[in-house]
Every structure is written in C-alpha cells, then in structure tokens.
Structure 1
C-alpha cells in the first residue's frame, strides 16, 4: 500500500513540478520581452515555454539514461539501477503535462477559439493527432511497462531514456525561431545537430538494443525478435515508427531550407 502511495506521490508531485516550471517560464519571458521592449504574441510565449520545459526534461532524461546504461552495461539483463523504475514515473507525468501544455499552446494559436470544450478538443486532436497519440501511448502504456517489468533489463530502459538526447535540438529550433534567429548560423547549426542526433538516438538506438541483446546471447537479430516477448517488439515498433516519420519531415525541411525557401511554423512542430 505504501508503495502505491509513494509512486502516486512521485507522479503527482512531478506533474505539478512540470506545470509550475511551464508557468514560471511564461512569467520570466513576459518580463524579459517587456524589459527589452519587444512585442511577442501570447501564442509564441507559450510555445517557447513548452519548448523550454521539454529541453529541461530531455537533458534530465538523457542524463539518467546515460547513468543507467553505464552502471548496467556489464550485465544488460541482470544489472539493476533504481533510477530506471522511479524515473519512469516522472517521465509518465511529463507526457501527461506536455499533452495539456500542447493543448494550451494550440488554443492560443487559434484566431477563433471554439466555444465548447468538445470543439476545442476536436480541433486540437485533428491538428496534433500523432503527437497526442505518441504522448498517450508513452504515458499510459510504455511507462507502466517500465515500472512493472520484474526488475530486469535496466540497461535497455536506460537506452530508451537516451532517445531524448535529440530533444534539446528539436526544441531549441523553436526557441531560436521565436527569438528572431531563424536566419542565423545558430539555427542552421542546430538543425544539422538535430537531424544527426535524431537519426542516431531515436532511430539507430532501437536496432542497437537488439544487436546488443543478440551479442550477449550469441543470437542474430531475427533470433532476438523471435526470442523476446511480443509486447517488447510491439513497444519498440510503436516508438520507432513515429520517429521515422518525424525524421522524414526534418529532412524535407532541411531540403526546403537549402533551396532558399522559408521554414513555416508548422514545419517546426516536430517532437
């Protein structure tokens, strides 16, 4: 019973922490732009707030992922690190928070906000369907699996956390754009780092985990797929498919930029 209470407390407490960070960032940005006498819309302020919190989350998740991987690399299935389980609760709360934050940012972007809550939700889901589905799956399916998995495979949980190494670059693109630096060398450099880190950390990391498992037990990739539980394969596939789609969008955006065309606001909305 105490364990349930403790875990629930971690989820609720960290959720409130993410929400507070989102609000405090908004207050700071309003004061910053007011002090520098720069006009910026409420939508863009909230957009930067969401991106800033996501950058902080990405750094924390990546840091814990690296710690777990380094501490468990000697035994990829048997070695344990308590961070792998407890941080899954924090991560679940983040994706719940971010779903709400994205909803608030979406409402601020609308010229005519629907009067009913159902109309607002319909508009939101139509515009951000894949991201909302991605967040819901991670918060309510993948994170609970990470918590209740009989204490094995912490190394792979750490690898899963390391996908967020690309997060600071994907979100920094939004921050740079809102601060009027879209035409700067920083924006271009960040874009290159974003594509490279995204390809390595969100695409190649999944095959790497299969190869590492196979190397440990002297199996090829096909044998690994057959050996591990079906839900593990499905979980990896659910994580991988949206990443391939988003990487494609990033590359198309880079090609567009190389051709001298401007990147629109919708082009930047990639998680």
Structure 2
C-alpha cells in the first residue's frame, strides 16, 4: 500500500520539477512566480486526466453499482493521495509569490492564504483525513462504481487549469480564453453537479427504485456525505458563472 503513496510522491513532485525546469528554459521571459503557478496547473491537469481515465475504467467495468469492484479504484486513491498535499502547498506557493512584495511575515501570509482559500483547503483536507480512510479501509470493496463517478468529476479540471495558465500569460481577452471558459463551465456542471443525481439514478436503476426514493433506501450518512461533497461544487460553479458574466460585461 505505502509503495503506491511513495510512487505518487515521486511522480507529482518530479512532474512539478520537470515542468518548471522546461518553462524556465523555453520561456525565459516568465517570472519565477509565473513558472511556479503554471507548473502547478500542469500537474493539476495531468492528475485530472489520470483520474478521469481511472474513473472511466472503473465505471465501465462495474455492471453492479455496489458489488462489482476494480483494482484501480483503491490503487489510484493511494497513488493520488500525495497530490492533495502537493496541491495545497502549490496553491500557497503561488499565493506567496503574489504577496511577496507586501513584506508580510510568513505567519501572516499563511493566515491570509488560509482565509482566502479556506474552502478549497478544507475540501482537500476532508478528502485526505476523512474520505481517504473510508475509501481504503472501511468500504469493504463496495461502491467502486460511485468512486469511479467521482473520479470522472475531474474532467473539468484541465480546462480550469488552462484558464489559469492563460491568465498568468495575460491572455484573458483572447477568443481561446472565452471558448475554454465555456467548456470549463459546461464540463464542471455536468461532471461535478449532475454526477450526484446520476449516481442516485444509477443506484435506483440497479435496484428498481425511483430516483427520488433512493435517499430513503440508502444509509443516511451516504446522503449527508454527498451533500457535503456537492455543496462546495455548487459554490464554485456560481463563482465560475459570476466570473463569466463579468467577462461578458467588459466586452
């Protein structure tokens, strides 16, 4: 088990180092802050592609939504665990570069970062400290199909990351940025919002239950967990929509 975690550490840290090194060599005009932030988005996109591929393999292999399992579900959770730690640090590093001219102490910078990125940081910590132990130790091999569905939610991440890369390059006024924004919005809505009612529909279809009755046939903690996972996604979707609306108004 731990060898997968160690492999994940080496992979994501190595990918970050490699992408940053290539950016420094190929794009010398970029500042160090831009290099760090762009390389972080590259790592995020690669992780998302791997998660989506894993999710597709899992969901397409499970004929029974509860009882069927696939080895990649547990293995990728372990392999991807270091990414959550890396991403928190990468987000802080990007924030530090933006604030370094303000001459704040490290403690003040950390506190400001946590205040402004509290939701995403909490989201990562919940995945690490709560979802990881449940997924690896307490599921007893049940529900791999639903875990695969949650992996598929990462489909929107490469587009969101690409938008951030374009922002770093000051390309917010380009047609490419606008088209990418539309794709990010659509994929986010489908894969991070609609995926939750889809999972209820899939469960109901498996057991011959109407979708709206599924919450009354599954353990209450499952529905509570889904609500807690979905809530930040709804908030982030509203943020994406607001940002898109502001972009349209400035045209």
TM-score clears 0.5: yes
Query: Structure 2, unaligned stretches of length 5 or more?
Result: none
Counterparts of residues 1-271 of structure 1 (less than 5 Å):
7-34=1-28, 38=29, 40-72=30-62, 74-110=63-99, 111-116=101-106, 118-148=107-137, 149-260=139-250
Per-residue CA deviation, residues 244-265 of structure 1 (Å, 9 max, x unaligned), is 011111111111111126xxxx
Query: Is the CA contact 1:225–1:233 (under 8 Å) kept in the aligned structure 2?
Result: yes
Distance 1:91 1:199 in 2: 23
Per-residue CA deviation, residues 61-98 of structure 1 (Å, 9 max, x unaligned), is 001100111011x2111111000111111222211111
SS in structure 2 opposite 1:155? helix
- What's the CA shift for 1:222? 4.3
Per-residue CA deviation, residues 35-83 of structure 1 (Å, 9 max, x unaligned), is xxx3x322222111111100000100001100111011x2111111000
Paired residues, number: 249
Query: Structure 1, unaligned stretches of length 5 or more?
Result: 1-6, 262-271
TM-score, with length taken from structure 2: 0.94
Distance 1:232 1:91 in 2: 23
- Range moving further from structure 2, 232-241 or 218-227: 218-227
- Range moving further from structure 2, 199-208 or 138-147: 138-147
- What's the CA shift for 1:157? 0.9
SS in structure 1 opposite 2:102? coil
- Range moving further from structure 2, 135-144 or 47-56: 135-144
Query: Is the CA contact 1:113–1:120 (under 8 Å) kept in the aligned structure 2?
Result: no
Distance 1:99 1:15 in 2: 14
- What's the CA shift for 1:188? 0.9
Query: Is the CA contact 2:8–2:81 (under 8 Å) kept in the aligned structure 1?
Result: no
Distance 1:99 1:234 in 2: 25
* CA distance 1:92–1:235, shift in 2 (3 Å): farther
RMSD: 1.5
